[in-house]
Every structure is written in structure tokens, then in C-alpha cells.
Structure 1
Amino acid sequence: MAFYEMDPALEESLLERTNRVILILEIQDDAGEMITLPEEALQEGNFHSYKDFLGGYCVTGSVSFLDEEEFLSGLSGQDRQVRILISSGNCGRFLHRFTLTVDDKGFRRSRTGGITRITATLEDAPARMKRVGGLKNWEEKQIIIDCVMSDKEHPQGSLVHLIAARGGLGSEELDCSTVELPLVYAHISASPWEELCSLATSCSALVEGGLDHKILFSSSVYQRDGLLEEMSPLREDLFYEMTEEEAGDVYTNSVRLKWNRPERLNPQILWRYDELPVEFDDSFSPSYPFLPEGDRPIQDPLVPYEALFEVRENYKSLPVLWADQIQSQEEVLEGLQFEADGGGTDGLTLSSYTTESQRAYLNLSCSQAGRLINLSILGQPIVMRAGTACFRSDEAEIALRGLRILSGRSRFFSDALVTGADGEDRPHWEDWVLRALSQGIKRRRRYRGRSEVGLFYMRAGALCSLEDEGSSTLCRVEELEMNFQKSRGLETRVTLLEE
């Protein structure tokens, strides 16, 4: 992700460094049309772009402006869209910099000398999703089967689109790169913002708010086109103050990923009847005696008998998260083995049978005494490999600087093979750990700059090359704060983290 692209005339005006920066507000009316306020209306504005602790990028802000012509008289501010356009000097070219929404407090109006002054707090879609998500009831879990992490062309099978839909966003409100890493099972239970950030972490992608789309999901190292992330130049002499420090807080020499890994198995027995009482023959093969008036729970026609699916493997049972290709009632009956006491195989049948993804409900009807030899249900299961782990460390760095651990928190990892930075193919989850370790052991620096030049085209999350007297340092914008005062102009504060 790079900086915003400017019109050449606007860029030329900025390079002169003497032209004042102009901010224009456009506010949506009740009909959806944009009301453009006069240039002199905005008195103060503050816009803060930052990396959330979950990993995504948010924008919050506040504006204070005069409504001398009463353009907004009678309008409620809550949830109203606001666009911020920025220009320089008299070039006549504007950069559409932000598309934000007024928060729940709406417009706060005050009148002095007959002039209305309006103050509003603004937020982009990620900031709003983060704030509102915790207030909604997310008790209703969502199970997603056989999807890919991100696919713009097929949103119905794209995990990023399905998560965004839980936050009330349609596929047209989301722009994303295509990351075709398959997932056999995904359990969505947290807020949409938490889940989006978790997915972005797994994909090594950026998630942020956009101008024309409410959410952008991009710049993944695993995306289909394989293009390198765009980078923008940034001259150090644009800042009147620049401080440098060691970024020791992002150093790590041991990466530990532990998660519950879903796995799809081959079709097999998901359930077999084994309820007491039981009899064994000379070869210790079990059978289950049935009577026409028997009291076995599976014979009670008023209470469906629950058959929980599980997979038995190496003397332990694995619960089934999901199963499909489950046998029909006719197929189960075909495999039922019963020996009547009077001879023959008739006398026991299924009186009811329904299935769900993790269980079946059934009842048996017995017309003559006998022994049940086999009653089972087959299907193709997805099971959870609890406590799957991948640990990688750099022993030389540990000996030098002590153990510094990074624990992977995401759970959206694929078993698909990917090509690593070294050209070797390995499972996605292993490659993610190796990339995190490779990045973590770097001795990185953090730069904090302040500028009164109009650096409004910068954006948090963007990759840039910090250039100074023939040297350059590859950095990513961690945080960006723009403060506008009508009497003083625009000041920009930026935090850069070396890549």
C-alpha cells in the first residue's frame, strides 16, 4: 500500500512549501446529496490514523466549523457521511482524503453572535465496527465450511466477505485482493472487527477503511497476483523535527503458534450403537439384546435418541465439528444387522431418522426379540486437532539477547502449501511462523516526525522509503495525525517503523 496519488498541479503547489493548505468539508444531506461548505467554514480539524492493537488500521477525527448560511439547519448529525477534501494554494485541485461518519453524538451546536458553530466527532468504518461491535449480541455463532480467505470474484465463498457481512457490510462495500488459501472449517464467534484483524494477521495483509469502499483488505504476501507491495518515497527534509529510537518492543527471537487445527478426514463411521446391556460371543464380538416391549432409550418413540458423531483414532475419540455425505435412512437400514431369536433378520427397523452436522436423531422399532449386531452411521467428518503447534526460534539471537517470545493469536491457518521467501514450499502455517521470526529478529528503528508541510497524502499502513542525503530506509507508517487550525494551517505528526 502506497501514499495517495495527487494531481500534478496539487503536488507542484505543495512542493513550493509556501502555499497554505485548504480543507473543505462535504456533508451528506437527508437525500444522500453532498453539501459543500465554504472554504472558510472549517475552524479546526484533527484526524488520527493509527494501527489498532488487533492489527488493523482505524481513523478517528473531529471537526469544528461555522454554518453561517444554515446549510445544515434541522439536520441530525448522527451517522451522517462527511468527506474531507484537501488542497494547497490556488491550484484548484483537491485530494479526496477521508470518508468518515459522524458518531452517535451527532452535531453539537452552539450559537455566538447569531452564528452557529458545529462540532462533530468522526470515525471511519473500521473504527465504527470496532466501537459498535462490542455492543452487539454476537452470541449467534457462524460456522463456515470450505471457503477461501479472500476472493473478490466469489464473495459467497470468501471468508473476509462473510465476516464483513456480520458487521452489516455488503460485498460492494468491501475491496480486497484475492488470497486463495483454502479453509475447511471456520468458526466465527467474536466481533467482526476482531475476526477481520485475525484473518489479516493470518494472511499478512492490511485491513483499513477506504474512500469509496468501507473496508479495504490488501497487500497480502499470499495474494494471487504475487505483485510486490507498492512503496512511496518520503524525503526527510519535509520534517522540521525527526527523532529516532530503537524499536525494541517489536523484537522477537522465538515465534510460537498454537491453535486448534481443523482437518477433513476420509468418509468413515461417525457413530455406532454400543449402549448397555451388551452380550459377547466366544470371539468377544458384541451384540445388543432387544425386546418388543424393551426399555432401551432408542426404542422410546416420544424422545428422539441423540447419536453424537465422533471419530475414534489411536484409542481416543475426536469430536466431529462438522460432517457431510451422511448416510440416508435407507443406507443406514441397509447396513443394520439383526438376528431374531426365532431365526431370520427381520424384527428391528428405523422408525425415525434425521441428521445434523454433528449428530443424528433416530429411534428403533422392535417387533420380535433378537440381537442387534451392528447399527452405524457413515459420513465424511471434519475434526479438530487440538493443541496443534509450530515453534521456531533463533538460538544465536536468544543467546545474545535472551528469550523474546511472540505468540501467534490468529486461528485462520491453511494446510495448503505456499512458496516462502526462500523459494521453498511449506504449509501456510509454517511459512507464517518463519516469516514472523525473520521479521522479528531484525534490529529495527522507529522514527517520529513533525511537519508543517502538507503531508496529507500520507496514509497509515503505507510502505515508504525514508530518504536523506543519498541513504534510504524502508519503513511503514504506524501512525499519522493531522491537526488543522484555521489560523495556523496544517501540522502533521507521523510515526514510522522500519521494515
Structure 2
Amino acid sequence: MKFYDLDNALLEAIEKGDSPVRVGISLDFSGTGFFETVFERDIIEASFFGLQESAGGTTARGEVVLDNTYGTYACGGRGAGQEVRISFSLGEGLPWFQRFVLYVDDNGFQDIQGPGRRRVLRLGLRDRSALLRKTENSRDWTQPAVFTYTVICDKTQPEKSLVHLIAKRAGIEAADIDCATIPITLPYVKLTKNIWTELSELAKTYRAHLECAPEKPLVFTHSPYQTETENVDESSYTFSGEHIFYLRETARAEQYRNTVRLKINIPVALERQEIWRYDDPPVLYDTDLIPVYPFRATALRDIQMQVSEAQYRIKDNGTERPVLYADLIDTQEKATERLDYTDGPFAYSAYDVTTHYDKALVTLTADADGDLHRAVIYGRPIILDLNRSCFLRDTEAIAQYGTAALNVSGSYFSENMVGGVPLYEDWTARELAERLQERREFTVKTHRALFHGRVGAKVAIETKAETVRGTINAFSLRYKRDAAFVAAFRITEGN
């Protein structure tokens, strides 16, 4: 990943380093979609931060303080959720670059009055991820969304793309998503968490970059499992000694691991087979020990008196397993053909296989006394394979340092083959390879106007002693009306 693309004139001005940084702020004060530009002279300070979350996503936030001496921006504490657009430029006559699209936090427009005539407006800002975290609060999660036979991400078929399907629940349409193509199939997904958490877990499993970026409301890219090729070794920027006024090196020993244990539950799609069989007592057995279910008018069974739940189950090596989801289910006519009985005759007076995806609603009737030998339903089931695990370790590292284990669990893993092994094994191997590296972390501060820097970008740090390559995992951009601009980056060593 690289820094955002800038106009050549801006890049030249950044390289020269002799032009002051300018900040442009536009707000939708009224909430009507009409944006008003704040007077540049009123911007006392503005700070913006980006961070790679451990959960998988990348988030941004900010804080703006405006001079409000004359009550120009008096808004009575309202404004929570209003959109704010942040742009940067240099000197005079150069184009503006829109860097952030943020939203006012729950504190709204904070009109603060101090001693004398001092009066400021403070805005706490969050990116769209904060809204996505709250999107599901008003939904009825007693009926969570279920998606089957989807691919992870594919912009050409958003109706079967999991990223698109999850984002759509937050009102983000396909045109609003910049994504890579990850054709790995998941047979079954059930959403139980908020939109941002689900997308973050998906990004963590597929090592993708997830961000609510300025160019698109949602970005899901740069995965090692995507079909698109990328130049992953290209650095966006080299920090040299003449540009750095602060450099800190930290050993991240707590990140080191030489053993990785992954334990997951994986939904597995099976061939079409029997998914329900009637077996309620009382039951008799014939001479061949085959069960027989007597239906008599003197003692009606529950399945005769009311609509009963036919919970889908399969038998796996003698063990009964619940079915998460089933499709290609017998029609009522086909299920009736499968009925095996003596006397009766028997039939289904109710047969509903569409209301629920893990059970049918059925009622059996018999015109006269009879014995039921078999009532079954066939379908294509998806079951949960519990406690699937993968264990990898580096014996040489263990001999040298002792066992340093990482126990991992997660969701959205697949049995699909990647490089000749199941994806979850490939993921474990990548995690171990990353953890074995004794990485350092560097904090770099510069007065250079690197407002186009971003989390996930590759950079280099060049000092007299060495040249280090790494990836940005956090940044801050600090503007003050009466002080020099400061851009700070936290960089993890490694390609």
C-alpha cells in the first residue's frame, strides 16, 4: 500500500518544505447537506489520528478547535453525527487535497466560553467506522442475517459477495465500496455483531486492509488472498535524518511467538441426504428390529394434533449432528412419496420448509389407524465442524528461546485450498512467520507536510547507522495556527 496520490504541485511543495501547511474544514452545520467552509483564520488547532486496530480494521478520529469569539459558530450543543470534510494544502495558489471525511461525535458542537471574551467551538470527530459500530443497535438481532454460499469479496457479483452483503445492512451500496476480489467461498455466515466488528473480523482473517477512507465510504483491499497483483515492496516515502526531528526505537518483544495454535469452528456443506426422520415415541420394533410407529385414533400423537417442528439433523459416524442450514429440500409431493406405512393412509396436511432454514413445520395425518414405518425429509445440509485446529511451531526457535505460544480463535475461516493447503493452515503459517520476526517499532516525527500518509503504507527510515523498512500502523497530524505542523508516524519494522 502507498500514500494517497497528490497533485504534482503539492508533491513539489512538500519536497521543498518551505510552505506553511493549510487546513480546510467544511461542515454541514444545518444537517441539510449544504456544506459551509470555516474561515481559515478561525482554526486555532486541528489534530487527526489514524490507527490499525488489533481487531482488524483501520480507524481515524480528530479534534478541531475553532475561534468563536463573535459566536459565528454558535450551534447550541447540537450537531452529533454531522459530516465534516477535512482538506490540506500548502502556501498560496496550490490545490486542496481532501484527506478525511469525519463525523461529529456524540458530544456535538461544544460551545465553550472562557475568561474574558474567549469563546471556542470544539468538535470531537470520528470516521464512519464509529457509525458502523452503532448501526445494528436498533436492529432486531433475534432474527440475525444469514448468508450462504457467498464469496469473501467480488465487486462483479455483490449479491454473493460477503463484504457487500454486510455493508449493505449499513446502507453502503456496491458503488460506495473499493474492494479486491477474494474468491474464497464460505458456505454459511450468521451475523451476530455490529457491522464494523463483523467487517473487522473478516479483514483480520483474510489479512485485508479495511478502512472508511476519504475516496470511498468503505475500502477492503490489499489481501494476500486476492486475485489482483500488487507491488508490495514499493515504499511510499523515505524518512531521512534531515527531515526527522524525533526518532524513537522500541523493541516489541511481546509480539514474538514461535508456536501458533489456531482453534476454530467451520461450517461445512455436505451432499444432499436425509436431514429429518420421524422418531417420536411410542415406538415398537418388528422382528428385524426396524422401528414402527403406531398411529391410533384413541391416542393421537403431537404431530397429528398440531404443526410440529421437524428439526434438521444428520448422522455422522453414528453421532447425530444439528444442521445449521439446509436447502434443496424435498417438496411436499416428494416427501409424501417417501412415506412408508401400513394401513392409514398417511399424508402431510401441513408442510412448510421455507419459514425456517434449520427446521420444517409439518403435520402428519392418517385417515384411519395405521403403522408408520418411515417419514423422512431430504435436503442439502450445512453443519458446524467443531474444534477444528491447526498447530504449527518452529523447533529451532523453541530450542533457543523456549516455547512462546499464541492461542488464536476466529471466524470466517474456510476449508478452501490455498497453495495446496486449507486456508486456515495457510493463515496459521503466515501468522507464525510474522511472529517469528523480532520486529522493532519506530516513532518518527517530522515537520514535513505528509498529510497524505496513511496506515498500512510502506516506508523507509534512513539514518547514518542503517536503513529500515516498515509499515505504518498509526499516525497523527497536528496543526496549530501559531506553531509548526507536525506529522508523527508509528512504523513496524518488516516488509
Shared fold (TM-score, shorter chain, > 0.5): yes
- Specify the code of the residue in structure 1 equivalent to 2:67: L
Match of 1:203 in 2: 206
1:497–1:137 CA distance, 2 compared to 1 (3 A): farther
* Alignment match of 2:348 (pick from 331, 347, 350): 350
Residue deviations 1:236-281 (CA, integer Å, cap 9, x gap): 3221121112221221111221111111111111111122222222
1:158 equivalenced with 2:128 (yes/no) = no
Q: Which runs of 5+ in 2 are unaligned?
A: none
1: CA distance, partners of 2:72 / 2:180:
40
- Match of 2:40, SS state, is coil
Q: Per the alignment, do residues 166 and 400 of structure 1 end up closer, same or farther by CA in structure 2, a change over 3 Å counting? A: farther
1:129, CA displacement in angstroms? 2.8
Instruction: Classify the secondary structure of the residue corresponding to 1:25.
Output: strand
Residue in structure 2 matching 1:489, options 454, 478, 484 = 484
Q: How many Å separate the matches in 2 of 1:45 and 1:139?
A: 42
Distance in 2 between residues matched to 1:309 and 1:187, nearest whole Å:
17
Check the 8 A contact 1:133/1:193 in 2, yes or no.
Answer: no
What is the root-mean-square deviation of aligned Cα atoms in Å?
2.3
Structure 1 stretch 105-114 or stretch 117-126: which is displaced more? 105-114
Asked if 1:332 is matched to 2:335, the reply is yes
The residue identity in structure 2 corresponding to 1:400 is Q
CA pair 480-131 structure 1, distance change in 2 beyond 3 A: farther
Output the amino acid matched with 1:51. Q
Structure 2 letter corresponding to 1:55: G
- 1:426-449 CA distance string (max 9 Å, x none): 221111111111111012111011
Distance in 1, matches of 2:251 and 2:145, equals 43
Q: Deviations over 1:415-462 (max 9, x none)?
A: 22223xxxxx22211111111111110121110112222222211222
Name the structure 1 match of 2:364. Answer: 364
Q: Deviations over 1:182-220 (max 9, x none)?
A: 110011101111111100011110111211322211111
Instruction: Encode CA deviations 1:297-329: one digit per residue, 9 max, x unaligned.
Output: 2221xx212211101011101100000111111
Q: Tell me which of 278, 282, 290 is aligned to 1:285.
A: 290
Decide whether aligned partners of structure 1 residues 10 and 181 sit closer, same or farther in structure 2, where only a CA change above 3 A counts: same
Q: Secondary structure at the match of 1:40?
A: helix
CA contact (8 A) 1:84 1:96 kept: yes
After TM superposition, the structure 1 = structure 2 runs for residues 3-82 of structure 1, keeping only pairs within 5 Å, are 3-30=3-30, 31-66=32-67, 72=73, 76-82=78-84
Q: Which residue is 1:266 aligned to? A: 271
- Structure 1 residues 60 and 227: alpha-carbon distance in aligned structure 2, compared to 1, 3 A threshold: same
Q: Aligned equivalents of 1:182 and 1:496: distance in 2?
A: 34
Q: 1:147 aligns with which of 146, 150, 157?
A: 150
Stretch moving more, 352-361 or 111-120: 111-120
Report whether the alignment pairs 1:224 with 2:227.
yes
Counterpart of 1:167?
170
Structure 1 position 143, deviation (Å): 1.1
- C-alpha deviation, 1:131, in angstroms: 6.2
Does structure 1 retain, via aligned residues, the 8 Å contact 2:29–2:79? no
SS state at 1:327 partner = coil
Q: Taking structure 1 as reference, are residues 317 and 186 closer, same or farther at Cα in structure 2, changes over 3 Å only? A: same
SS at structure 1 position matched to 2:185: strand
Displacement of 1:120: 0.6
Match of 1:88 in 2: 90
Shift of 1:142: 1.6
Distance in 2, Cα, partners of 1:296 & 1:231: 73
Equivalent residue, structure 2, for 1:106: 108
Given that residues 65 and 119 in structure 1 are in contact (C-alpha distance below 8 angstroms), is that contact kept between their aligned partners in structure 2? yes
Contact 1:351 1:363 in 2 (8 A): yes
Where does residue 412 of structure 1 map in the other structure? 412
Q: Which residue of 1 aligns with 2:467?
A: 472
Q: CA deviation at 1:8?
A: 2.1
How far apart, in 1, do the equivalents of 2:229 and 2:314 lie?
Answer: 39
1:299 maps onto 2:304 in alignment: yes
**SS of structure 2 residue aligned to 1:240:** strand
Amino acid at match of 1:185: Y
Judge conservation of contact 1:445–1:497 (CA < 8 Å) in 2: yes
Name the CA shift for 1:92/1:105 in 2 (closer, same or farther; >3 Å).
Answer: same
1:428 aligns with 2:442: no
Native 8 Å contact 1:10 1:91 kept in 2: no
Amino acid at match of 2:427: W
Q: Structure 1 unaligned runs (5+)?
A: 341-345, 420-424
- Is the 1:233–1:467 Cα contact (8 Å) retained in structure 2? no
Report if aligned partners of 1:60, 1:127 keep a CA contact under 8 Å in 2: no
Cross-structure match for 1:396: 396
Residues 483 and 492, structure 1, Cα contact 8 Å, conserved in 2: yes
Between stretches 286-295 and 248-257, larger displacement belongs to 286-295
Report the alpha carbon displacement of residue 466 of structure 1 after superposing the two structures with TM.
2.8
Whether contact under 8 Å (2:135, 2:194) holds in the other structure is: no
Q: 1 CA distance for matches of 2:405 and 2:191? A: 27
Which is worse superposed, 184-193 or 285-294? 285-294
Counterpart of 2:41 in 1: which secondary structure? coil
One-letter amino acid matched to 1:269: E
Question: How much does 1:62 deviate?
Answer: 0.6
Q: Identity percentage over the alignment?
A: 29
Per the alignment, in what secondary structure is the counterpart of residue 228 of structure 1? coil
Report SS of the residue matched to 2:167: helix
Supply the distance in 2 between the matched residues of 1:135 and 1:252 (Cα, whole angstroms). Answer: 41
Name 1:343's counterpart in structure 2: none
- Quick check: 2:75–2:109 contact (8 Å CA) kept in 1? no
TM-score normalised to the size of structure 2? Answer: 0.92
Opposite residue 429 of structure 2, the aligned amino acid is L
Instruction: Show the counterpart of 1:422.
Output: none
Q: CA 1:361–1:318 in structure 2 vs 1: closer, same or farther (change >3 Å)?
A: same
Q: Deviations over 1:139-165 (max 9, x none)?
A: 542211111111122222111122223
Determine the C-alpha separation between the residues in 1 that align with 2:218 and 2:235: 21
Q: Deviations over 1:59-92 (max 9, x none)?
A: 1111011357876565843222212211222352
Q: For 2:204 and 2:36, how far apart are their aligned partners in 1?
A: 39
Instruction: Tell me the distance in 1 between the aligned counterparts of 2:342 and 2:294.
Output: 10
SS in 2 for 1:2: coil
AA matched with 2:88: I
**Alignment deviations for residues 363-405 of structure 1 (CA, whole Å, 9 cap, x no partner):** 2222333321111111110011111111111121122222222
